[in-house]
Amino acid sequence: MGCAVVLSISYTNQEASEPIHKVSFINRDKPITEITRLEDVDAWGKQHGCSFVFIKDWKKKEIYTAMGFADAKGGKTKNIGRSNISWEKAIVEAVNEYKNNCPSKLKVFTFKWSSRKGKFYIGDPSDTPKYESKKLFSF
């Protein structure tokens, strides 16, 4: 019987006026086979070689983990708009919908929220500002 330890690393930009991000350690006795909570999203991704990121705004560089996105939106139990769906439920549903494409089709899943459709969709990399694209992909 094995033990998996998942480590979350936080990066803080010293020039930005952001609060310091928390670093969390999650100890798991057995692999996660089903994603049912926000806490499972990053651990499942690490076990399968994928990352799930949630984009609030490309231009402002507001990109979060599942937990970070829910916290930025008011908490994982907060309902979205007038619906009875919480941020946690919406995020878990989105990840479960696309997780079977990991890692055969995608290794990094970038989710954006559509308030019109009331669900997450895979963010289009062409939404990335040109400056950032050049910076990220320059050789």
Alpha helices in the chain (DSSP H): 38-48, 66-72, 87-98, 130-137
- Tell me the C-alpha distance between 131 and 108, whole Å: 21
Q: Is 125 left (phi over 0), alpha (psi -120 to 50) or beta?
A: alpha
**What residues does 5 pair with on adjacent strands?**
27
Question: Do 21 and 71 touch, CB atoms closer than 8 A?
Answer: no
Cis peptide before 103 (omega within 30 of 0): yes
Q: How confident is the model at residue 103 (pLDDT cuts 50, 70, 90)?
A: confident
Q: Within 10 Å of residue 92's Cβ, how many Cβ atoms?
A: 20
Least confident piece of the model among 1-5, 69-73, 98-102: 1-5
Mean pLDDT confidence for 102-109: 87
pLDDT of amino acid 15: 53
Q: How confident is the model at residue 44 (pLDDT cuts 50, 70, 90)?
A: very high
Q: Which helix (H) or strand (E) holds 88?
A: helix 87-98
Position 29 pLDDT exceeds 80: no
* Bridge pairing between strands 119-122 and 51-57: unpaired
